[in-house]
Structure 1
């Protein structure tokens, strides 16, 4: 049975909200100094990228609604496979500057899919 695409969008939103909580009221210097903060933030971006990768693989008609979804999946690949070259500044700017746009797109798409779902089927 194929997973409901809303579940992957929920994963994106949940992981993105975690990142926002992690970096809230923190500075770039805080981020650089805190290995747990860095690791947690990177892990959530890995989840976001993997969820978008699976959404694209199973529902390629939906991913164009997520701006820069291919870059996000590529970012996930760097975090996982290029872990030795991860640039803290890139992760920080993604978390603080680009993440709000991603979450906006994911929430809009999730809402559209919820509206189109058969009555009573609103849980992803």
Structure 2
């Protein structure tokens, strides 16, 4: 059975929620030193990118202001170049990009439900 793409959108929101809970009130140094947290955050970013791959093209085109391709590129870099992960970039994504992405994806979900 094919999974409804709305579930992938919910997976994105769930991953963002979990990332925010993992990081909590950590600062960058704590994040980098906490292998369990940094690894979990990277895994959730991978899941976000993988979920995006399962969202239909027409939906992504309708919401073209969301940086779908950039997110998938980040997922690909993390997945295929694990030893080259720049945790400063990951941290900046978590702190500066995910809140906006959450709002955008929540709007997509609201529109399609």
Aligned partners of 1:48 and 1:63: how far apart in 2?
A: 14
The corresponding residue for 1:86 is 85
- Runs (4+) off by over 4 Å: none
Give the superposition deviation at 1:112. 0.7
Structure 1, unpaired ranges of 5+: 115-124
Aligned partners of 1:33 and 1:42: how far apart in 2?
A: 14
Aligned partners of 1:54 and 1:6: how far apart in 2?
A: 10
**For 1:26-65, what aligned pairs fall within 5 Å after superposition?**
26-55=26-55, 59-64=56-61, 65=63
**For 1:4-43, what aligned pairs fall within 5 Å after superposition?**
4-43=4-43
Deviations 1:29-66 (A, max 9, x none): 101110001100000000000000121xxx10111316
Give the superposition deviation at 1:4. 1.4
Larger radius of gyration: 1
Aligned partners of 1:4 and 1:108: how far apart in 2?
A: 17
Q: TM-score, normalised by structure 1?
A: 0.85
Tell me the number of residue pairs that the alignment of Structure 1 and Structure 2 aligns. 111
Q: TM-score, normalised by structure 2?
A: 0.93
Structure 2, unpaired ranges of 5+: none
CA RMSD of aligned residues (A): 1.1
Aligned partners of 1:15 and 1:60: how far apart in 2?
A: 21
